[in-house]
Structure 1
Amino acid sequence: AARLEKFNLESLAKLTITDELDLPSLGERKTALFAIIPDNDTSFNFLVSILYTQLFQQLFHCADKKHGGSLPVHVHFVLDEFANLSMPSDFQKILSVMRSRNVSVSIILQNLAQLKALYEKDWESIMGNCDEFVYLGGNEQQTHKYVSELLGKETIDTNTYGRSTGRSGNYSTNYQNTGRELMTPDEVRMLDNRYSLLFVRGERPVKDLKYDILKHPNIALTEDGGAAPFLHGIADKADFSIQLTSAFLDHEDNQPAEPTGYELLSEEDLQREFEEGESFNDQEKE
């Protein structure tokens, strides 16, 4: 009963009473779906978890049963602030099988400590299932160490010269190869904010300049580019319209129905109501 209690809220009931999402179609035609949740309130995160769970299930089922194992249109999940999202409990398993079905995700975190806190035993497996890893900078020590180890080592040629004076003076030169981290954890911490580090499976690490979002050709359409803020959930264009004549509305069969109240009950509550009802009927018979 406690789990279903929130569905008794009128606003939540209106949101979930009907299904307006054709989830499998995301893998059949180009579609953008935004799930916007507050980062400071997790009260209704379970709704997003339900959405993601159903979305993965529907996409995988559509790929396997309808399209021979791979969706015709690639579906990419951009999971910003991943640590604040409520993902399915078997996300690690989902991540390992989505690629063959033409589904991918971008997991965006502040640092690796957040991933370790969420998936204490599976965080390395999640990292291993990602073919690309981009480090944009940060201030968490374990992340610096992890990136430094990923970069590997470099070889340094060292020349040592020695000379002694005197009657038996001599001169010697020693050549030695030594290794050091390509970037130490401290050097990773001090990475110039203009740069990022890119790791691609099977390729050498890449250090490159970050893309300046203010130079994007569509920046003028965003709030940062001077456009008005986008208000989510407000439709400014109707998909269709219906006009009803007065004669149609006056007909007795077309009068609006009386408002009805309802309460969402769990199986335990229904059983309790049923037992109480039987007990009341027995008392009346006596």
Structure 2
Amino acid sequence: MSTVPVRTATGPINGNLAVAVAAAAIGWWLWPAPDAPWQQAAMAGAAALCAAACLARGLVLLVRDYRLRRDLARAEAITSDHGTAREATWDEIRARGMDMPASGNFLGLYQGQRPVFAPADVPFSLAIMPPGGGKTSRLVVGSILHQAQTGKSLAISDPKQELGPMLAPTLRQLGFEVWCVNPAGRYLDRCGNVELNPYQAVLDALYAEDEARLDAIKRAGDLAELHLPEKGGDDKNLYFRAGSRRCIAVAILYFGLTAPARCTPSDVFALLNDPGRLMQALRWIRRHLETAVPHDPIVAFLKTEAANLLHRADKNEENFASFLEGATQVLLTFNQGGRLGGYGRTADRNIAELRWRPIILFMMAPLSHTREFAPLISLFNYNLIAACKDRPTGHKVHIVGEEALNYRFADLVSDLETMRGLGITADFYIQSFPGLVRKYGRDAAAAVDSYAGVKVYSALNSFDQAKLVSDLLAEATIRKQDYSFRSVVTDLGVSSRELGRRLMTPDEVLAMPRGEAWVFVQGLRPMRLTLVHYGQVEPWRDWVLDNPIEGRRLRGDPLFRIHYPPRTS
């Protein structure tokens, strides 16, 4: 908009009108009587002519001034030729139902005062905040407590082993069934330990009495690929990676059919790491498995796979050794002497139970061994989604993907396409979008971004990320004035034109306070919200215990309260 007021200079309107009035008064005063001399009549006529001329001139200038002011007013009205970017208004937010806690997760405060919640019709969200940005305290903890009150089952990845100790005791006191998968055995007084089988999806399929059994071989292959993911665009060692995955899948099915309690990553590793024992098992599959399990198409498949591997071991020993080396390297985390050695043999629960009734599951890994425990969380996520596919109309499940780049989803893009129909919702919390690209590839990362109906960006410190947010905010039309000075100092020329400007430039995005976020919701203008931690929301502030890593729980003046209905058994 204008920064210097524009004053019109169409001419001396007031002067002409004043002269016209004065001349008319003189003419009226000099208007001659019938017997007056001719000189008086001439003077009166001259005054009348002067009044008429000045009046006409003044009226012309007045009309010209009106038109100029009208055109200036029109010129100052901003059009939409260069963009219409703006923030969402409160009325638009309310119209979307985002002022109601029942709609979804708490996102932040509009203009620092009114709480805004995610819309109910958006199943997936993506939050991007670098380390130290406050993901856990400002988004994740609130999401867990809020989603638990909706009656859904929750599958919570806890790769820093802090969410379980902070929330599990209170959730149990509130009447929720809480499982803590705690292989490291830490904080047992707060969390306890529930053991799950990492290969449960294969066992469920193998012993299913319906068409779900047809998925057993595919699931074994999926788990093998989860252990050894395919690198997009890298065809150099495709043959050897495929061979390693074949060895893993055969071992999983072998244990699943012959010794279900030992169908675990540790036992698969032990078998593949002992070539003599492996060859003996392959020969037994080839000669005797059909006798033990007659008339089974899965056994027929295993026999051909065993024959294939035996042939390769005999004809190309070097390639076969490469298969085993690749397979054992990715399974090394589950070695006999490691922290995950033997895990799953004494499993006492089935992750599929989350589909039967509301259960809150924490999949915990110690911060000091996040990388070592990541494959286990990846396997649990696969088992959960497989269980939901087996029971498509079961209890609704919500996935809380805290630090989602520390583990994998087997086929994330394909799963996102089906999860909504299965009644699964998910929140993914990551530190950077380039990290998502490195983890899953550019195309998959773009698909995840497009599926996320709610996107939160806060505390960014990367210019590329800030530029992405700036591009998402788009351009707004602004008016710019240019000034030109002439020889007379008081004579200033002003020209006005329209330009497009980003609603916020990348440097402005980087300079945002860490407690603010840009939130993009499908079908709504962007929102700049104030983030608040759980200690500023009632009753969350009373439900969270001390953080075992960072110390005492956060406290602050409560900004608002969410009223939850009392739980019924």
Distance in structure 1 (CA, Å) of the matches to 2:492 and 2:462: 49
TM-score when normalising by structure 1: 0.67
**1:110-137 deviation digits (Å, cap 9, x = unpaired):** 1212112112222111111111101121
Corresponding residue of 2:348: 20
- 2:501 aligned with 1:180, yes or no? yes
- 2:464 aligned with 1:127, yes or no? no
Identity %: 23
Distance in structure 2 (CA, Å) of the matches to 1:84 and 1:142: 22
Corresponding residue of 1:31: 359
Helix, strand or coil at the partner of 2:417:
helix
- 2:380 aligned with 1:48, yes or no? no
Distance in structure 1 (CA, Å) of the matches to 2:446 and 2:373: 29
Task: Give 1:170 shift.
Answer: 8.1
Name the CA shift for 1:203/1:163 in 2 (closer, same or farther; >3 Å). Answer: same
Task: Give 1:43 shift.
Answer: 2.3
Distance in structure 2 (CA, Å) of the matches to 1:141 and 1:117: 18
Corresponding residue of 2:402: 80
Give the AA of the match of 2:379.
I
Task: Give 1:78 shift.
Answer: 1.0
Name the CA shift for 1:172/1:75 in 2 (closer, same or farther; >3 Å). Answer: same
Distance in structure 2 (CA, Å) of the matches to 1:115 and 1:141: 17
CA contact (8 A) 1:23 1:59 kept: no
Give the AA of the match of 1:140.
S
Measured on the aligned residues, the alpha-carbon RMSD in Å equals 2.7
Task: Give 1:160 shift.
Answer: 3.4
CA contact (8 A) 2:382 2:410 kept: no
Judging by fraction of residues, say which structure has more helix: 2
Equivalent residues in 2 for 1:101-250, closer than 5 Å = 101-121=422-442, 122-162=444-484, 164-165=486-487, 173-216=494-537, 217-221=539-543, 222-223=545-546, 224-225=552-553
Using the TM superposition, name which of 6-15 and 31-40 deviates more: 6-15
Name the CA shift for 1:174/1:163 in 2 (closer, same or farther; >3 Å). Answer: same
TM-score when normalising by structure 2: 0.35
Q: Which runs of 5+ in 1 are unaligned?
A: 227-286
Q: Which runs of 5+ in 2 are unaligned?
A: 1-271, 274-327, 547-551, 555-569
Task: Give 1:163 shift.
Answer: 5.7
**1:63-107 deviation digits (Å, cap 9, x = unpaired):** 1xxx2xxx4x3311111111212x133122112221121112111
Structure with higher RCO (Cα < 8 A, 6+ apart): 2
Distance in structure 2 (CA, Å) of the matches to 1:29 and 1:151: 42
Using the TM superposition, name which of 210-219 and 109-118 deviates more: 210-219
Task: Give 1:10 shift.
Answer: 8.4
Task: Give 1:152 shift.
Answer: 1.0
Corresponding residue of 2:224: none
Name the CA shift for 1:179/1:62 in 2 (closer, same or farther; >3 Å). Answer: same
Helix, strand or coil at the partner of 1:123:
helix
Distance in structure 1 (CA, Å) of the matches to 2:421 and 2:350: 22
Distance in structure 2 (CA, Å) of the matches to 1:21 and 1:188: 47
Task: Give 1:161 shift.
Answer: 4.5
Name the CA shift for 1:11/1:39 in 2 (closer, same or farther; >3 Å). Answer: closer
Distance in structure 2 (CA, Å) of the matches to 1:11 and 1:162: 76
